[in-house]
Amino acid sequence: MRGSAIAVAVGIPLALAAAAGFLAGMASAGGDVEPAAASASPTSAAPVAASSEPPAASATPSTTVDPYVEAMSGGSETLEEGQSGRSETNVANSDLEILNWVETDDPVFFITIDDGIVRSPEALALIQEQQIPVTAFLTEYAVREHTEYFNEVTAYGGSVQNHTMVHGALNDPETDVEWEICETQDRFEGQFGYRPWMLRPPYGAGPDDPDVLKYAEECGINRIVLWNVVVGNDNKVEYWDPPIRAGDIVLLHWEDNLAEGLETILDLGREQGLTPAPLEEYI
């Protein structure tokens, strides 16, 4: 059942150019979509400037066993029910790859939800009711007091992953790329009990910048995950190649009307015979 990632191998300019063009198109097509331009504003609350001093750490070092360590030592059977997707990825695929969709023959697509400033109870209820696998790319400053919510919404095969400390554009020379990536890794390991292995650069900006690749590798990231379908905050759906297809990676945001956006994309998937699957099990 495991599909192989259609990785946009690092250093293949054509594929990356296609991704960049797509992202730029998305930015112009939908005002709420994260724009690719480094100078653009984030989708919601203004982040602290990347050059400012990082806020004091609120997370304490984790005392729980890292699930990857467990997996590597044969202890994966102790993983919690529904969280198997967290167990093997780092181990099986150690090379850093950039991807915006997944090559698979399985009738599945992938739901990724970004930022984390708003935590909708209706979205949580829907995710729990339908046991939807969700990969949550979270911005650290927005979620540090909300561990329980994000553990609950990622309890169905999903996971919490890295969307930086304060949502800095990683291709902006003013951004402290090391801090944005690596501090998030350390904080999330403390907060959620496992170290992220996926990074989604804010605005999709700079996924192949040398510093991004360098600090991603140094700090334990092996997948830089973009997207090819967007459900905007107005629930308008933007496709790279409509309709939704097997292996598509859908981007939504943690917003008040997220439940409606999820219903929208679930319905569109159903029309194509597709159901959501954990991205964690396919890349």
Amino acid type, 180 = E
Report, in Å, the least distance between residue 163 CB and Zn ion: 6
- The residue range among 17-25, 111-119, 150-158, 259-267 that interacts with Zn ion, by the rule CB under 5 A, is 111-119
The C-alpha atoms of residue 101 and residue 7 are separated, in whole angstroms, by 8
What does the CA dihedral 5, 10, 12, 15 come to, rounded to 10 degrees?
Answer: 50
88 binds Zn ion (CB under 5 A): no
Q: Taking CB under 5 A as the rule, which mask of x and - marks residues 202-241 in contact with Zn ion?
A: x---------------------------------------
DSSP 8-state class, residue 201 = -
Strands 108-115 and 275-276: parallel
115 binds Zn ion (CB under 5 A): yes
Report, in Å, the least distance between residue 23 CB and Zn ion: 12
Quick one: 90 or 162, whose CB is closer to Zn ion? 162
> Which residues, including other chains, have CB under 8 Å from residue 247's CB and lie 6 or more apart?
3, 6, 101, 102, 103, 104, 108, 109, 110, 282
Quick one: 202 or 220, whose CB is closer to Zn ion? 202
- The residue range among 108-116, 121-129, 181-189, 274-282 that interacts with Zn ion, by the rule CB under 5 A, is 108-116
Cβ count near 199 (within 10 Å):
28
Residue choice 50, 100, 104, 114 for contact with Zn ion (CB under 5 A)? 114
**Contact positions vs Zn ion (CB under 5 A):** 114-115, 202
